[in-house]
Structure 1
Amino acid sequence: MDGTVDGSWAVTGLDPLAGQVLEHLVAVPSADVTEIAGAVGVSSAEAERALRILADSSLVLRIDGTSPRWAAGPPRPSLGAVLARRRAELARAEGLLERLHEVYEEVSGPRAAHLVEVLEREDEVSARYGQLLKGSSAEVLHLAKPPYVTGPETSAGEFAVAHGVRMRSVYDTDGFTDVLSLDTALRGSGQGGELRLGSRLPVKLVVFDRAAALLPVRGDRPAAGSLVVHSPALVVALVALFESVWERAEPVSLETRHDGPVWKRGLTAVEPDRRTREILHLMATGMKDETIARVLKVSRRTVQKHVSDAGTLLGARTRFQIALLAQERGWLSERA
């Protein structure tokens, strides 16, 4: 019989080894300690200890004779009784949790309100953010803009979303020159996160699993404190705000490609390569050449070369004209 994952037995309260022994015994009429130890790959002493645990829970029976043997009882009634006891224990634990939360609310007052938490210190904000991030299981929505509470001394690997959690981030172009924000965006993109850039983001915001949202009390002074919003109606409104910003923001690819400008000639028009499209895309959001170079991991001169060649092809002299004409030509679209 295939072994059951140890974690499944842990949920029942049984020792993982005892679970393996039970799996073996339900597959055979009976077995002695030596046979059991050999089947699960442990010593006879360890097998005997597991058998005592199973016998105490009425999951196995000892058959006395010249050489004592062991047999499993019917799993459904015997293991069902074990699970029933575990459910009762969990119910008592849930009752304890509720009592503790009631005491917490009485002591903490408005900080532990059902709808909004007030975090007054930077370390509280950082700790609560990490807690909410680790507790996210489906999706994290992120609007990032300066000024930032987290300083350059914070480790870039301190916070990360769990595997399988979708993260969508929109960074304000005015703040994307910050090394920490760039490193964070690169790391998130490398983990499968989706990144976009936008100008004049309305607020700094993080939404966790569409169940809680973190935002500063004052947009211009994030160090003044933050709010953790739990109100379903407010969270829905903040999600709608994020989706509106996300829809207008420009997608960004941080993949590294060749640096030289290449122009693809079609039957009726000359079009830029993907790298030039990326540079024009970022330029159109208001990003500076230095920041574009950092994002795409190319030199500033390479960026300027692409922009200059695009201007020559479009017959434009200023960056504004280049962006406008590139948009009209469809060069800022998603196609390669």
Structure 2
Amino acid sequence: MTVELNADEQWAENLRRMLVGVRHEAVMAIARPVRPETEYGAEDTVFRQLHEAGKKVRLLLSTAYVGSRGRQSVLRQFTLGSQIRVTDTDFCNALIVDRERAALWAAAPGQQPRGYLVAEPALLGVVHQFATSTWHSARRLRDHLELRDGLDSVALAVVEQLHSGAKDETAARALGVSLRTYRRYVAQLMARFEVSTRFQLGVRVRELGLLS
């Protein structure tokens, strides 16, 4: 069974009620929030209570979501430590409870959010498998933040040169290094961010909010 829901002012309360009723497991994925940042704090509190009660909880965040907020804001908002992971994979906002029901919601720019309650076993199984497998392959939140925040001034300067579209020779002169050294910096950044092309590197640094 799939039922369309109104993602209105009652949406946050409906999600909290679903969380409070968890018996065994809860998986929550936030890609593109449709509510004010402060409203997610109450859900984090419920997640912590579930975790402390021995329930299995997983929270998945998108790099775009984390990148749109400061480090301290994210750490203050979500406090479950290793249960929180960050992924580059695209996904829909979701809350899955006990593998029995799931709420899915999203909003296109300038439009009211739309939500669905899913209880149909086959669809629910697909949603749960995707969310949990993505969570397992994602980075821990603190590892992700260290990846983003651990760049020195030289690395950030290389990122800016790449973003500007400067040729390697021009970028190397601007940084006062040899062409070989500049290309080594680029290769190190690609390895650090686990990408194979400069285009992918550009996408990643934008997601992490590294561009001024």
- Report TM bin, short chain: 0.5 to 0.7
The 3 A distance-change label for structure 1 pair 306 and 249 is farther
* Sequence identity percentage: 15
8 A Cα contact 1:122 1:149, kept in partner: no
Kindly indicate whether residue 15 of structure 2 is the aligned counterpart of residue 124 of structure 1.
Answer: no
Q: AA paired with 2:63?
A: T
- Return the match for 2:20 from 120, 134, 148: 134
8 A Cα contact 1:156 1:183, kept in partner: no
- Return the match for 1:186 from 58, 78, 89: 78
The 3 A distance-change label for structure 1 pair 306 and 194 is farther
Separation (CA, whole Å) in 2 of partners of 1:321 and 1:231: 47
Separation (CA, whole Å) in 1 of partners of 2:111 and 2:25: 24
Kindly indicate whether residue 190 of structure 2 is the aligned counterpart of residue 324 of structure 1.
Answer: yes
Report 1:192-211 matches (<5 A).
194-211=83-100
TM-score (norm 2): 0.62
* Larger radius of gyration between Structure 1 and Structure 2: 1
* Offset from partner CA, 1:53-97 (integer Å, 9 cap, x none): xxxxxxxxxxxxxxxxxxxxxxxxxxxxxxxxxxxxxxxxxxxxx
Shift of 1:232: 1.4
Structure 2, unmatched stretches of 5+, are 159-176, 196-212
3-state DSSP class of the match of 2:29? Answer: strand
Separation (CA, whole Å) in 2 of partners of 1:245 and 1:225: 23
- Return the match for 1:304 from 145, 148, 151: 151
Report 1:19-98 matches (<5 A).
none
Separation (CA, whole Å) in 2 of partners of 1:143 and 1:124: 19
Q: AA paired with 2:2?
A: V
Separation (CA, whole Å) in 2 of partners of 1:155 and 1:217: 15
Q: Relative contact order, CA 8 A, sep 6+: which one is greater?
A: 2
The 3 A distance-change label for structure 1 pair 123 and 248 is same
- What's the C-alpha RMSD, in Å, of the aligned pairs? 3.7
8 A Cα contact 2:62 2:90, kept in partner: yes
Structure 1, unmatched stretches of 5+, are 1-114, 255-277, 284-291, 294-302, 329-336
Separation (CA, whole Å) in 2 of partners of 1:320 and 1:143: 32
Aligned length: 166
Match of 1:151 in 2: 36
Q: AA paired with 1:120?
A: N
- Return the match for 1:227 from 98, 103, 116: 116
Separation (CA, whole Å) in 2 of partners of 1:248 and 1:215: 21
Kindly indicate whether residue 59 of structure 2 is the aligned counterpart of residue 169 of structure 1.
Answer: yes
TM-score (norm 1): 0.41
8 A Cα contact 1:217 1:227, kept in partner: no
